Structure 1
Amino acid sequence: MTHGEPLSEILDAIAVRSAVSGAFVQSGRWRTESSIDVDLKFIAVLHGNARLETDGVRGAIDLDPGDIAMLNGRTRLRLDGGRGEEAPRLVPPPEATTPLPNDDRIGDADAVIGGRIDLDPIGRDLLLRILPPVLHARAGAPAGHRLRDHLQRIFEELAARRPGAEFAVRQHAQLLVLEILRSFADDTDLPAGWLGVISDESLRPALESLHAEPARSWRLDELAGLASMPRTTFAERFRAAAGTTPLAYLHDWRMLNAQRALRSSDVPIGALARETGYLSESAFSTAFTKHVGASPRAYRKESRLSA
């Protein structure tokens, strides 16, 4: 089991997969409405402006060029755009087959990109609970220029339809989600959770050590020393950022790694127990069953059947 930078590891572990459903370019006044049948959906405005309305959120959200809205657990949306006195023209939601003009032919029109973020059950639990109903990533934020760059590349690939376009769109969509989460992590009102502790630079040395050696029997004073803090100060700061204690975070990370290994590999349960930090297979099985609600063997079998 390899270990690296915490955010990358967690995004790999919860299997975040982003997909672009399509884009459209519209002049004049327009409106699009659709139901949402995925946990996470995103709407991005590359050119022009749009107003977003969705269920459970009061008022409209103004989206400027380069802005992205990520919708968490919503069931419908409405977008309005364009200028003029005429009644808005109803347009279908963005689709992958919609023909698009080259970027230099858009002019004053509005260009909108839509997509979704697919999650496995672990990702659904970990990611959805830390995100607000609508996450508005603004082009004016510190990461805004990177958001706009990825949007531009996605639009260019969709418009040009060159060989390998689908692959390129998937890669930029993945990076787009990363930048959205980075933008959210920069928020001073970030709720307690794994993204909160990852974003705290003072805690990072201790966190990276936990991720590098999850099987080690870490002591609180060792972790506090890595963060150059008194033990009590470290424990309080970690709990405030993560919403849990350092050792409880370590336990959760061990269990997340175990679930990932059981889903994607044939590693023997005994070997996985040692990699996860347990002295015996029975101790690991007991902890895993208590945490997940199924034994390691039952979890592996169910995961393979579901896949």
Structure 2
Amino acid sequence: MNSHSEVPVSHDRSSGNAQDYGMAATRADVLSQVLTLIRLRGELVYSAQLRGPWSIAFPAGPAHFYFISSGSAWLTPLGAAPVRLGCGDMVLLPHGTGHVVGDDLATPPVPIGQVIGAHFDRDRSVLDYGGDGAAASVVGGLFHFEGGSLAAIMAALPLVVHLQAGPGKPPDWLNALTHFLVKESHEVEPGSSLMISRLIDLLVIRTLRTWAASQAHPNSWIGAIGDERIGRALNAIHAAPFAPWTVRQLASLATMSRTIFAERFTARVGEAPLQYVKRLKLTLAADMLAGGALRITQVAERVGYASDAAFSRAFKAQFGYAPSEVVQRQHGIGGEDGAVAGGARSVRA
């Protein structure tokens, strides 16, 4: 890698020294940048009127969200403990984990395919299901992330992202977004599919932002969002990921000594500053290679490696396979994405 300490002009990115990057970083938003890189895509939304006893099993596939507009429910992700969802709660399953959602933990779950076949109004995207017991109203939806090579970044998110309503009503933004989502799904008009996708994007991003702000000290980039000083350095890294950052430069942005900065960054993010920079560069390199427009030599140069050999060694150490294998592996990921999208559309079709 380049060893000089000056931060050069980066490819079509902000230029100048570390202070210039710090000024640009004040306008940066790590969460937005990460979500842009992984290309969040909303798929569909539906409203569910449910009466106990009811229990529905969803296979692994697209990511899900649920908003409990009335009543309550239990969510049980595959291999994880059940989560009690109360009225006004919002929950994301960002990894597309197979799960069961129901009114209790004792009712045998019915596969979603069987439930849809008999109880789903495809014209209005309404699910009416259950017995004659306690009622619950749920707004559900599907989304997915297309940036398969960014799995290491997304691994920072837990299986379940849970926003609890607490006392009083849910926040206004949550009520407003779910209201318009349901309205668009019930009253299908030209442009409704695009509107639903964009609203899901907003809902997921706002949920992640609100949840991240509530986390005290998670060991990931999420934990740094709420830390003003470490956040400045992290924002600068994301604003110019291919710059040859040094601990001194990043510590200066954070207005901290190098030692204290390195310790605090590692505690907040879960890895040392330059290791984070290296992993981000290689992750972005994998995404560029998957796009097919650049050769390995071009990507290696763009992300700051002096030779193909050095780049290939670092890449393989990070991901476990060589850069030349990315296109084939991405083809497999694309197939999975297609299956996810197809599965999501089949709920509506």
TM-score (normalizing by structure 1): 0.81
Return the offset for 1:29. 4.8
Aligned pairs for 1:150-189 within 5 A? 150-189=177-216
Equivalent of residue 176 in structure 2, options 146, 149, 153: 149
1:252 partner amino acid:
R
User: 1:99 aligned to 2:124?
Assistant: yes
Partners of 2:55 and 2:101 within 8 A in 1:
yes
Q: Determine if contact 1:51/1:61 at 8 Å carries over to the other structure.
A: yes
Q: Does 1:287 align with 2:296?
A: no
Q: 3-state DSSP class of the match of 1:202?
A: helix
C-alpha RMSD of matched pairs (Å): 3.2
**How many residues were matched structurally?**
290
Uncovered stretches (5+) of structure 1, i.e. residues with no partner: 82-89, 102-108
User: What residue is the counterpart of 1:85 in the other structure?
Assistant: none
The corresponding residue for 2:162 is: 136
> Structure 1 stretch 91-100 or stretch 285-294: which is displaced more?
91-100
Distance 1:213 1:79, change over 3 A: same
Worse-matched range after superposition: 268-277 or 14-23: 14-23
Pairwise CA distance, 1:140: 5.3
CA gap 1:272/1:293 in 2 versus in 1, 3 angstroms = same
CA shift for structure 1 position 172 = 0.8
For 1:19, what is the secondary structure of its paired residue?
Answer: strand
Q: Counterpart amino acid of 1:70?
A: L
Q: CA separation in 1, counterparts of 2:235 and 2:220?
A: 16
Code of the residue aligned with 1:250 in structure 2: it is V
Aligned mates of 1:298, 1:261 — CA distance in 2 = 13
Does the residue aligned with 2:255 lie in a helix, a strand or coil? coil
Aligned equivalent of 1:276: 303
Higher RCO, 1 vs 2 (CA within 8 Å, ≥6 residues apart): 2
The SS at the match of 1:203 is helix
Matches within 5 A, 1:1-307: 5-26=29-50, 29=52, 31-38=54-61, 40-45=63-68, 47-55=69-77, 56=79, 58=81, 61-65=84-88, 67-71=89-93, 74-80=97-103, 92=115, 97=122, 99=124, 110-119=136-145, 120-127=147-154, 129-139=155-165, 144-304=171-331, 306-307=333-334
Identity of aligned residues (%): 26
Residue type at the aligned position of 2:124: P
Q: 2:56 is paired with a residue of what secondary structure?
A: strand
Whether the 8 Å CA contact 1:35–1:75 is kept in 2: the answer is: yes
Q: Which moved more, 1:51-60 or 1:215-224?
A: 51-60
CA distance in 1, matches of 2:44, 2:120: 9
Equivalent residue letter for 2:71: N
Q: 1:52 is aligned with what amino acid? A: W
Question: Would you say the 8 A contact 1:289–1:296 is kept in 2?
Answer: yes
CA distance in 2, matches of 1:98, 1:32: 23
Amino acid at match of 1:49: G
Instruction: Deviation per CA, 1:209-250: give whole Å up to 9, x if none.
Output: 222222222221111111111111111110011000110000
2:340 equivalent in structure 1: none
- Does the aligned pair in 2 maintain the 1:23–1:96 contact within 8 Å? no
Distance apart, 1:185 and its partner CA: 0.7
- 1:99 partner amino acid: R
Question: 1:38, 1:116 within 8 Å by CA — same for their partners in 2?
Answer: no
Matched letter for residue 283 of structure 2: L
2:310 is paired with a residue whose SS is helix
Amino acid aligned to 1:38? G
Taking the aligned partners of 1:60 and 1:269, their CA distance within structure 2 comes to 45
**Separation in structure 1 between the aligned mates of residue 269 and residue 188 of structure 2, nearest angstrom:** 43
Per the TM alignment, residue 2 of structure 1 is displaced from its structure 2 partner at its CA by 5.3
Give the TM-score normalised by the residue count of structure 2: 0.72
Q: Deviations over 1:34-67 (max 9, x none)?
A: 233226322112x3222224155556513213x2
Q: Which moved more, 1:9-18 or 1:275-284?
A: 9-18
Change (3 A) 1:264 1:236: same
Cα deviation digits, residues 236-268 of structure 1 (max 9, x gap): 110011000110000011011101111124123
CA distance in 1, matches of 2:240, 2:97: 38
> What amino acid is the match of 1:43?
Y
